[in-house]
Structure formats: C-alpha cells, structure tokens
Structure 1
Amino acid sequence: MNTTPSARFELVVTLIAGAALAVGLPVQAIQQAPVSAQLALLVAAAGWLVARRWPWPGLLLVMAAPILAASGGWTPILTWTVVVFAALWWSRRGLSALLLGLATGSASYLAFALAEGVWVGNLLLLAFSVCVAASAVGGLLRARADFVREAELRAQQEARARASELDQRVATERLRIARDLHDSVGHQAAVVSMHLGAAEVHAAAGAPAAEVTADLRQARAGVQSVLLEMQRILEILRVAPEDSLGPLAAHGHVADLVASFTAAGLPLRASVADAPAGQAVDAATAVYRVVQEALTNAQKHGAGEVTLDVATIGDEVVVSVQNGLRDGPAGAGRLAGERAGFGLTGMRERLASVGGWLRTGVEDGQFRLEAHVPIDAGRSR
C-alpha cells in the first residue's frame, strides 16, 4: 500500500510511543513499581488515544502521566518519553509548536522535580529542553510539508494556466484561419457562380461556343483557386510553426482581386491606392480581406454598379464600398449582415484585431461600407 511521507512519519512515531508503553508495563511490574507508576502508563496510553479525536484534552492526560508516576516516588522516564513523542507528533499535526513545547516542557520539569526532590537541576532542564526541541522539530516538519504542498499546487496551477493559454492561442489561430477560409473560398465560389451563370445565359441565347467555353474555363480556374487556397490553409494547419502563420493575401494584391471580380462580370468602378510604406503585415491582410468580403457581398446581395475606393488618409487606410440594393429593405438587411452569415462579423473581428473599425449603413438607397485600418496594426493594441 502506498503511503505519504507524512503518514509514514506519524506511523513510526505512534509505534515507538506504543512500544514504550507496551514494554513499560511488564518492566515496571518486574521492578515492583508502585501502582501510581503503572497507572501513569495507562493514563499516557489513554491520553494518546483521546488526543487523536480531542487533541488538547488527550495531551493533558499524557502530560499528567509523568507527574502521576513521580508523585508515587518513581522516576518518570517512560511516561516522559511518551510526552516527548506526543509533542513531536501533535506539533507535526498542526498544533502550536511554541504552546505545545512550553506545556509539555513545564509538565516534564515538574515531574522530574517531584521525582528528584529538587527544583533546579540539569536533569530537569534536560527534560524541559527535549520537549521544547521535539515541538520545534514537529513544527518545522509541518512548515516544510506545507511549503512542499503549496509549491506542488503552484506548479499544477501554472501548468493548467500554460495549457489554457495554449488552448486559447490555438482557438484564436483557428478562428483566424476560418475567417481566411471563409473570405477566400466565399469570394472564389462567387466568381465561379458568376461564370457558370454567364455560361448558362450564353448557352441559352445561342452564343458562340467560344464564349461559353471561355466562361467555363474561367469557372474552372476559380474552382482550382479554391482548391489551391484550401490546400495552403491545410498545409499551415498541419506543419507550419506559429511564427510562419503569415497572411494569405495583402494590400498589394487588391488590384488583382478587383480584376478578378471585373472579369467575373461585376460592374465595378475602383480606385485603389498603393500600399503605404511601413504598413504592418496584419494591416495589409485586413485591407485585402475587407475588400474581398465587401465585393463578395455586393455581388451576392447588391444591384447595379459597385464603387470601391481604397485610399491612405493620415495613418490609416480607408476602404469605402458603395452599391445599390437588390431587394429593397430585405437586400439592405442581408448586406448589413442580418443574414449574411459570418462575413461582416468576421470583418469586424479582423479589423478589431488590428485596431481598426467598420461602419455600414444605407443612404439614399445605396448600401455603404467604410472600414478604417491603421497602417501600423500594433498602434492601437
């Protein structure tokens, strides 16, 4: 059976004290000790048992045992030994070492004073000192055990905190990658849908086969882009360390993004400024994703020409998008994010992560979106 060091220590002390009492009864009987000496051993044994439930009442009985033995003219060596181990045991159990040392030491001093018939002597001082020392040792052992237990508890708490922090980092990165996947795949899916729709219209209208083939070829290229984007994300999730989790797009690629929407048939009038000097990587990614999500929403839920403006104003990049409404108030609700899934929610979270902000609304029958992205993404954190 596995036992703790504390349990083993208490067991050893109890066995020694019990052995002293068990051996003392026959030895004192052989030596024809007075009845008071035999009774003192029984009182000490009873006190030890009582103290396990009621410490101080039991200890008073243990401390009374050597005094009882000495009152009958018998040297209280055995009962004093039990007192010493009791001081060690119960100070280790948490009783005040100072109070216990003074109490057991004083009782032992009195017992040997009665036995020796003097009030000052080396034996008396030795009896007192040993009890005080035993109590001090028990208190030190208790303090050490408390220290070890608290250190183990702190280590466990720190381990749990590290695990929690790691889980939080993993969850945050998964959310970031999920947003990237939504933005990228959502855009590419919209492009594929537009090309397939154009192919369907051209085929129904009897357009030349070259036009239909071109539409299908562009749709196929969109599907390949989706597959490539998903492959890149899965590779990052599989093998890349945290430091290599860079953005999947940047401000400098916004012009290419605009061209892909234009090629897909979205009526788009765009003005895109170059990326400003010193732009943070996260800020560049945020600009690209905001434009991507805004144009995707406009293609899905808007109507008419879309106006895009990406400009550097002061220490921010401002993205402005404006488009008409397809279904009146219902279309406005979809564009505003009431039923747009995670698109605008993810956009707001991404902007918040770099210290930016987003404003959307309907003015004069036009849906307007305006995003502000700090050039230095760490400035507002």
Structure 2
Amino acid sequence: MARLGLERGTMRRDLAIAGVSFVGGLVMLAVGVTHPFDSTTGVPVAVFVAPLALASAALVLRRIATRTGLAIGTVAVAGDLILGGSLPTLLVYSQVIYDACVYGPARLWRRIIAAGIVLTAVGAVAGIALFSSWRGLALGIVPALGVVLPAVTGISVRQYRDQATAERTRAEQTARLVELDRQQAVAAERTRMARELHDVIANHLSAVAIHATAAISIRERSGDAGGGAVDQALRVIRENSVQGLAEMRQMIELLREEANPDALTRARLSEVDRLVARARGAGLTVRLETVGEPRSLPVSVDLAAYRIVQESLTNALKHGTGEAGIEVGYAAGMVLLTVENPVNSAPAAPGAGAGLIGMRERAALLGGRLDAGVHGKLWRVHAELPA
C-alpha cells in the first residue's frame, strides 16, 4: 500500500510538471516568443501548440517509460523544427533530455551525449556553409544548449543520486552489522552464563549427593537411633535442592543454548577485594565502600554482582582517567552496586561493546535492573539486584 501511494504521488507530480510546462509554453507563445532567433517566420503561432503539447506529454513518461518519453519528445521537436522552430518546445525538450539522463539507463545518456555532440558539430558546420561566415557557428548553439547542456546536468544529478543511494545502502548494511554484532555479543554472554550455570548448580547438587549418602549411611548403621541426624541431613538436602532449582529456573529462562561444562573459578561478591587489588595492580586507583551489613547471597546473585563489578572496573581502566569508586550496598531484599569513574576525553581503547550488554543481561536475568551512562562528569554504573 505504501509503495502504491508513493507511485501515485510520483505520477501526480509528473502530471503537474507536464501541465505547468505546457501552460508556460502557451504563455510564451501568446506573448510572441516563438522562434529562438527570429520571431517573424510567417507560420501561425497556433501551429506550434501541437508539438508543444506532444513534448509536454513526454514529461509524463519520464520515470515510467523513459525511452518512450524521449522518442515522443524527439518527434515533437523534430516537427517543431520543420515548422520553423519555437523556443517553448525546445525548452520543454531540454527537460525531456534532462529526465532521460537522470532516470534512464546508463546506455541511454551515453547515446544522448554522443548525439548532442554530433548535432552541435553538424549545426556549426552547416551554419558556416549556409551563411558563409564564422557567424554560422551560432547554429550549433541550439543543439549544444538544448541537448548537450541538459544531458551534462542530468548526468551530474544522476551521479549525486547514485552516490546518495550507495551511501544509504552502506549505512543500512552498517546498521545490520551492528545489530548482528550485538546479537553475537548477547549469544556469547549467554553461553558464558550457561557455563557458569553448570558450576553453580553443580555445587548444590554435590551437597545434595553428599548429604543423601550420609543419610543412607546413618540409617544403615544406627537404624532409628540416628533419626535426628538423618532429619538434619534431609533438611540440608531439601534446602540445597530448593535453592538450586530456583536458581536454575531463573537462569534457564534466558538460556536456550547448550554449553559445554567448563571449570571456572568461583566468583563471589565477598571476594570483591581481590578484584580491587587486581585493578590497583594494573594502575587504577580504586576506592571501595560497603554500606550495610554484608550477608550471604544466592549464588546467582553473588556471581552476577561480582561480574558487574569486574566489567565496570575493566571499563574504568580502558575509558577512565585512572580512578574509580565502588559502593556495595546491602539493603532489605536488595544488593545495590555503584561504580563511578571520571570520563577520559582522550581516545579510548577499542572494545567490542559487549560489556554493557552482558551486565544488563545478568541484571535482567535476576529480575533486577542496571543503568549505565554519563552522570555529571562521571561514568556511572548502578545495578539493583534482588537478593
């Protein structure tokens, strides 16, 4: 529907151009502008209306049938020249030539240029022969102005139009590549989280297996006398099972790709000092502040918080001025993370841009939120994770 509306709008515009050209030509004929060199040809002015109308009609076909429009315009100007020639028809025909070079195929404008050059040369030679004077060169001005000049102008406009189309296509391709890179970054981050999921769930299931073995062993050795110890072991089993399943459901909601299990170093928010020490060793001055009473967190939240702080410090090293501040807050049911660093005006180290995507993915996975951006003169990352 949109394309049909565009085509209708284009046709109405072409009809308007043809109508205005015809009316303008009639006004020129009415005020006595007929022959380009001599207005006293002896031919009635009304005779020139027919070729003018035919040349104006050719403008309607300038987009949908360029070759046909050029042929009609050429017939019209040929008939007009046979009658003695009129300036309005020649002007309309120059517009037909221009449109043929802009909207027609490349082969067509090459032929128009060649024909215009030949007509200019023939007109100049014929003028010298007819008038026996160098003034006869003026006869070559008509094809030069009516054919060559509009053709050259149309070719220039066509080149600019083609260049704009190429730039627009390049921009669209770049946008698609950026989107593809973003999708690949998300997929890579999810694959990484899938590997970490294995490590997180394996910890709980290992505890379940150990305590289940202990419960069975106690029952076999002591019968009913060991009921209290068995109950304790079963409670531990239930607690680890429920916690492991809850965390697995949270992470599986966004993870759909299989990942090969891989041995990963356990990362916890309680070990943020290790991250700070590593960043300081790399030359970053880090200020760490803890608000509230630190407490044990679900493994998925613990891991996500650790990764967010880690990625924020990495960004501070790459894009900052050598300083960073970390605030870890323990609120009721929430863990609040804030990492700030001054923004460096110098060119930053190149990066893939996947860090922010990964941090947002982790926060969204847990039902939290993460904001990152310029805050005053600082780059600020603030995350709220439910705990």
TM (norm. structure 2) is 0.49
TM (norm. structure 1) is 0.49
